[in-house]
Amino acid sequence: RPDVSQEFGYKEIVVATELTNTHPSNFLWEQDRATLGIVQPGLYEISLGIYGKHRQSAQLLVNGETVLVAFANRPSSPSRSQAPAPFQSSHSPTSGGLSGVAGTTLLDFIALPPNARLSISYGEGMEGAEGFIALRKIC
């Protein structure tokens, strides 16, 4: 798969807060770091969302390699069509307290090697965005 990080100007997301960790010896988190450690290999369900003023693409990296890309809008240019296929939905809430906030979300399943390092990157224009990541070991 091509490395879309450099081609599209992605920046790593720093994980500032951990709300729940059901298995602290498997899911390793350090405040204000850009990577999450996953000790045990296996199949994992992953969901993530990034919300800001504009819809934007995001990517999931495992050990520095892009494994999933969530495109905010399906690209039409030839150079972008070589990027990994989108696995996402994008939406912009129009009612309630989130009016004017756009989001990109992803739900997928990935096989992780032992001692995997996960990180999430976003495209330009998402400074000040908020988001979440949720991991669940399937087997």
Check residue 28 and give its pLDDT.
93
Share of the chain above pLDDT 70, in %: 68
Q: What is the CATH number of the domain that holds 109?
A: 2.60.120
pTM of the entire predicted model: 0.70
For the chain, the domain total comes to 1
Radius of gyration of the chain (CA): 15
Residues 80-105: tens digit of each pLDDT = 334 444 444 444 444 444 455 778 88
Q: Are 139 and 51 in contact (CB under 8 A)?
A: no
- Where in the sequence is the domain holding 69, given as residue range(s)? 4-137
